[in-house]
Structure formats: structure tokens, C-alpha cells
């Protein structure tokens, strides 16, 4: 993996990440394709939305399909016919948030499969092995993700376990795939610093802030981002996991973050919440019943070039799956276009204008 910074503007950075399956510009937003698909969208849709990297999940892909199927198709890229980069999350977060009967031990986690109740053991070594088998371009270390609220003693204990697992993850990586470390420590900046300094000795290919966007107040999250953003190694990509809305992303970029992922654009799209240049519209509202304008008249996505709000609302009310697809196309395109605008703003040293614009939109609700 090669990371180059082309331009710095205050703490913000504009750059490029080059990987075996291609390159993408940063700051970048990774569209979430948990099971190896971005719900309702084909690869062509993703290409047309300018998506250059997707995020898939080792936890979900460990449960299904089986290894044989993946081996036959030469890894995840072959299986899903996606020839651009893939980042895989290690499964840590999902084990703790989605599984029943979770028992955490020093060497890993025992839990029951939410699909068939089968007993499963996931360790750092196993997570890395799965991610190597998937052939992901960027792998994440296996860690424990604390929930919110979490007191400082528990956050510290969890942090110690995550550091032990970071060591095991690092040792388990026998591939040339990029491997990112994940800084934990809850909302406690001193714990975050302890985590980072311990992880730095492994010289990971990139560094993520994990364990945020788990229910903490936005002010506390922003404090961690402001404190830690530009403490993460200068020459490595910095990734804020699971965040967020447009304003959250711009705020984090202003604090030195380069990479993002979040289910918001796709999940909200399926619920009729569509991002437009002056905020968000809910297509299910009565007011769009006969609205012949596109979702956003300044948007160049396939949906906005071809269909009206009224038609999309009609499809949604009829429960036609085309509505989900058209709305997802728009939101995915919107987020990629947001990142493009952020990169242009860094180039022009005026990201603060974009931040103020979004802040005013949020105030207006």
C-alpha cells in the first residue's frame, strides 16, 4: 500500500491511497457492503456513483458463504466480481453488537451464530486468517469495542485486551495485504493516547479510531476526534470508523482524518431519507406526491437524471424494490460527491466554508 499526501490545509489532508486493486483519493468515504454487496446496487451502479472502495465484513462473511465457495471464486473480489479495493472490518464490533451468549476470553471470543445457533470461536488469528482468505486490500486488527456508557476502569481493561489482540493480529498476518491498527479507549483521551503509543510500535499501514459512534453524545465524540485526529501517525492514512453524517465527516477531515465508512447513506436511502444540497428530504412526505423535480436538481446521479420525486415516492408507496435501488443510487452518489467537494475545498484552503454551510443547514433542521 502506498499513501501520498498531495496537499495540506491546516490539519486537513488531501491524498491518494494505492492498493493492489487500484487507487482512490482521500479524504474518502467507503460505501458499506457488509455481505459483499451494497444492498440493492449492482457493481455498475457503484461504478456510476464513483465508488472506488467498499467495506465488507469478516464477521458476516465468516458465517456465510463457506470457504469452498470463496476458494472456487478466488477470494471475495472474484466472488462478487468487484475489481476495485475492498477493506474488511475484523468482526470485533459485530461479535459484540450482534451475537448472543458472547464470552470474552484472553485468546478470543466464544459466541453463538445468529443464523443457526452454532457455537463459534473468533480470535485475532482467525479474523486475520479470514481476511487474508477473502483477499481484502486493507485488513483491520481484531479488537474489543466498548459500548457507551463505559466507565474508565472497564475502558482500560478492554483497551489492554485489545492491545494484546493487536499483537496477535500483527503476528498472524503472513500476507502483504495492508493491516490497520485500531485505537480504542472510549471517550477518555488519556486512554486513547496509551492505545496509540502501544500500537505505533507495530508500524501498521494505517491507524483507525474505533469505538466511536456507539451512542456517545456528539460533543464527547468530537472531543476525541479533535484531540486524537492529528496525533495519529502523520505519514499513514487515518480512518474514523462508523462516522457519519456530512457535517461529522467535514469536522473530522478538519481534524486530520482521511477515511470514513458508515451505513447512513444506504440505510437512510432505504427509509426514504434522501440527502440534498440544502439538507435532507423524506420522500414519503405528502408534499412530494406530485413533485416533478428530481430529488436534487444539482445532482448528476442516474436517479436524478431520469426520475422525479413523485415517481420515486409512488414506487416506494407501492413497495417496489426499484425505489430502494433508485434512492440508494442517489445517496451513494451524494456521499461520493460530498467527498469530492471536500477534496476540492482542501485544495482551495476553504474547507471552513463547507463546514459553515453544513452547520447552518443543520441549524435550520
Is 261 a residue of the active site?
yes
Q: 124 with 141: CB under 8 angstroms?
A: yes
Among 1, 299, 326, 339, binds Zn ion (CB under 5 A): 299
Catalytic residue among 52, 89, 205, 316: 89
Q: Does 332 bind Zn ion (CB under 5 A)?
A: no
Among 77, 126, 309, 330, binds Zn ion (CB under 5 A): 330
Closest CB 223 distance from Zn ion, rounded Å = 34
Q: Which stretch binds Zn ion (CB under 5 A): 177-185, 210-218, 256-264, 301-309?
A: 301-309
Q: Which stretch binds Zn ion (CB under 5 A): 30-38, 293-301, 320-328, 347-355?
A: 293-301
Pairing of strands 100-105, 108-112: antiparallel
Closest CB 305 distance from Zn ion, rounded Å = 8
C-alpha 265/C-alpha 274 separation (Å) is 8
Is 89 a residue of the active site?
yes
Closest CB 277 distance from Zn ion, rounded Å = 10
Closest CB 337 distance from Zn ion, rounded Å = 9
Beta bridge partners, 179, equal 139
Region of 159 on the Ramachandran plot (φ > 0 left; ψ -120 to 50 alpha; else beta): alpha
C-alpha 117/C-alpha 114 separation (Å) is 6
Q: Does 301 bind Zn ion (CB under 5 A)?
A: yes
C-alpha 184/C-alpha 74 separation (Å) is 33
Q: Which stretch binds Zn ion (CB under 5 A): 61-69, 215-223, 274-282, 300-308?
A: 300-308
Q: Does 309 bind Zn ion (CB under 5 A)?
A: no
Q: Does 283 bind Zn ion (CB under 5 A)?
A: no
Q: Does 304 bind Zn ion (CB under 5 A)?
A: yes
Q: Does 312 bind Zn ion (CB under 5 A)?
A: no
Closest CB 278 distance from Zn ion, rounded Å = 14
Q: Which residues are catalytic?
A: 89, 261
Residue ranges binding Zn ion (CB under 5 A): 299, 301, 303-304, 330
Amino acid at each position: 500500500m502506498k499513501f501520498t499526501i498531495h496537499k495540506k490545509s491546516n490539519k486537513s489532508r488531501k491524498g491518494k491511497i494505492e492498493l493492489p486493486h487500484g487507487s482512490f483519493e482521500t479524504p474518502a468515504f467507503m460505501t458499506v457492503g457488509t455481505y459483499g454487496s451494497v444492498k440493492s446496487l449492482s457493481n455498475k451502479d457503484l461504478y456510476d456513483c464513483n465508488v472506488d472502495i467498499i467495506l465488507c465484513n469478516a464477521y458476516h462473511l465468516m458465517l456465510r458463504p463457506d470457504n469452498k465457495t470463496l476458494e472456487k471464486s478466488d477470494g471475495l473480489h472474484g466472488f462478487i466480481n468487484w475489481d476495485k479495493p475492498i477493506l474488511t472490518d475484523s468482526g470485533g464490533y459485530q461479535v459484540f453488537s450482534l451475537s448472543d451468549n458472547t464470552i470474552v476470553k484472553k485468546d478470543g471470543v466464544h459466541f453463538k451464530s445468529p443464523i443457526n445457533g452454532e457455537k463459534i470461536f473468533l480470535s485475532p488469528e482467525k479474523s486475520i486468517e479470514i481476511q487474508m482468505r477473502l483477499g481484502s486490500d486493507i485488513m483491520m486488527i481484531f479488537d474489543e469495542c466498548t459500548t457507551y456508557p463505559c466507565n474508565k476502569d472497564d475502558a482500560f481493561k478492554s483497551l489492554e485486551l485489545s492491545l494484546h489482540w493487536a499483537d496477535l493480529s500483527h503476528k498472524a498476518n503472513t500476507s502483504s495485504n495492508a493491516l490497520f491498527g485500531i485505537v480504542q479507549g472510549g471517550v477518555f483521551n488519556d486512554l486513547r493516547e496509551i492505545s496509540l503509543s502501544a500500537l505505533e510500535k507495530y508500524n501498521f499501514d494505517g491507524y483507525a479510531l474505533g469505538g466511536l459512534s456507539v451512542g456517545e453524545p456528539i460533543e464527547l465524540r468530537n472531543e476525541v476526534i479533535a484531540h486524537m485526529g492529528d496525533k495519529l501517525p502523520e505519514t499513514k492514512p487515518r480512518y474514523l470508523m462508523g462516522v457519519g453524517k456530512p457535517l461529522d465527516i467535514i469536522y473530522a477531515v478538519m481534524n486530520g482524518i482521511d477515511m470514513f465508512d458508515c451505513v447512513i447513506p444506504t440505510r437512510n436511502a432505504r427509509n426514504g431519507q434522501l440527502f440534498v444540497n440544502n439538507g435532507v428530504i423524506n420522500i414519503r412526505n405528502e408534499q412530494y406526491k406530485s413533485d416533478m423535480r428530481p430529488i436534487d436538481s444539482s445532482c448528476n446521479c442516474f436517479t436524478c437524471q431520469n426520475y422525479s420525486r413523485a415517481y420515486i415516492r409512488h414506487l416506494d408507496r407501492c413497495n417496489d424494490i426499484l425505489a430502494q435501488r433508485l434512492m440508494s443510487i442517489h445517496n451513494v452518489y451524494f456521499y461520493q460527491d460530498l467527498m469530492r467537494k471536500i477534496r476540492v475545498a482542501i485544495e482551495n484552503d476553504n474547507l471552513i466554508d463547507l463546514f459553515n454551510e453544513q452547520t447552518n443547514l443543520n441549524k435550520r433542521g
